[in-house]
Amino acid sequence: MGNNLVEFIISPTGRITQIVAGMLIVAVGLISFGTFWGVILAGIGLVPIFAASYDFCLLGPLFGLPISAKAIRGDTSHEH
């Protein structure tokens, strides 16, 4: 792998961090939900939640790696 950021993102701690950060972004967006930017912010907050939940690394392609965190890890197991 070689990239510390990608290694962190695909780790269990990184996935939890993404979910928590996404929840905070959604919460801020919902607090200002009456505005256009609040709706946009809440939608943006869903991206890291879904990426972590489905084991994607959205930064992978920027570093020449696959989007699948399992493929980056070389994970061949079928665990969920």
Q: Is residue 38 part of a domain?
A: yes
Supply the pLDDT for residue 3.
83
Q: Does 51 map to a domain?
A: yes
- CB within 8 A of 50, min separation 6: which ones? 56
pLDDT the model gives residue 48: 96
The answer to whether residue 19 is domain-embedded is yes
What domain count does the chain have? 1
Q: Is 79 among the domain residues?
A: no
- Asked whether residue 34 is assigned to any structural domain, the reply reads yes
Query: Mind listing the pLDDT tens digit of every residue in the chain (80 residues)?
Result: 558 989 999 999 999 999 999 999 999 999 987 789 999 999 999 999 999 999 999 999 999 999 999 999 886 555 55
Residue 45 placed within a domain: yes
Q: What is the residue range of 54's domain?
A: 4-73
What is the pLDDT at residue 74? Answer: 87
Cβ density class 26-46: b for 16+ within 10 Å, e for less: beebeeeeeeeeeeebbeebe
For residue 80, is it within any domain? no
